[in-house]
A = this chain, B = another copy of it.
Amino acid sequence: MEAAGGVKKRAHARREQVLDAATACFRRHGFHAASMAEISREAGMSVGHIYHYFSGKEAIIAAIVEREQQEILEVDDGIRSQPDLGRALVEHAPRGLQRALDGASGPLLLEVLAEAARNPAIASMVREADAEVRRRIGSTLLAATAGSGELADLQGRLEVLGALFGGLAIRAVRNPGLDRESTARAMQRVIGALLEP
């Protein structure tokens, strides 16, 4: 017998170990160019053993995408919990920019989206998470602007907000040396305009 929970905990840790390794590999080479052998090397685990935790490469990709979407929801939660959403969004701009430029998340995000564009399983995960974000931000936004009449084009504004922040990952690839301060200021100007009634 083993200590209660010990087995499950270890199994979970092993899974995370694989996911971390796979994330690194996928960032470097993309989903399809990264090999199971490379992942196993990075995870410090034999190839065969990975199959004790994941049914295949597809399952690893799916798990990573899920984790990635989870993180998006968490970032979003951090913003929404602020007392003034508009201000929080505006203030988030520089951080979002930095995240896109420095964080290694950008390339992986693009990889995920490219995959979602052809893999229905990935697509539905991505879309569910996105719908959740829109629902949350939307309701917070509604509550925040409750006094000043209904906010026109709420859905459209949410879309544009998503395009703006998501688009930063694209800018990070297209122009990694961009002027951060200037861009942050322009972002803030635009976000401000987006939240006006």
Contacts and interface: CB of A to CB of B under 8 A. Distances in A.
Number of this chain's copies in the assembly equals 4
Interface in A129-157: 130-131, 134, 152-157
A187 interface: yes
A167 to B, nearest CB: 3
A36 to B, nearest CB: 14
Given A163-B164, A164-B167, A170-B163, A107 B111 contact: no
A74 interface: no
Interface stretch (A3-11, A12-20, A79-87, A188-196): A188-196
A21 interface: no
Interface of A: 27-30, 32-33, 106-107, 110-111, 113-118, 123, 126-127, 130-131, 134, 152-157, 159-160, 162-171, 173-176, 178-179, 181-187, 189-190, 192-194
5 contacts: A30-B118, A156-B185, A156-B186, A162-B171, A193-B193
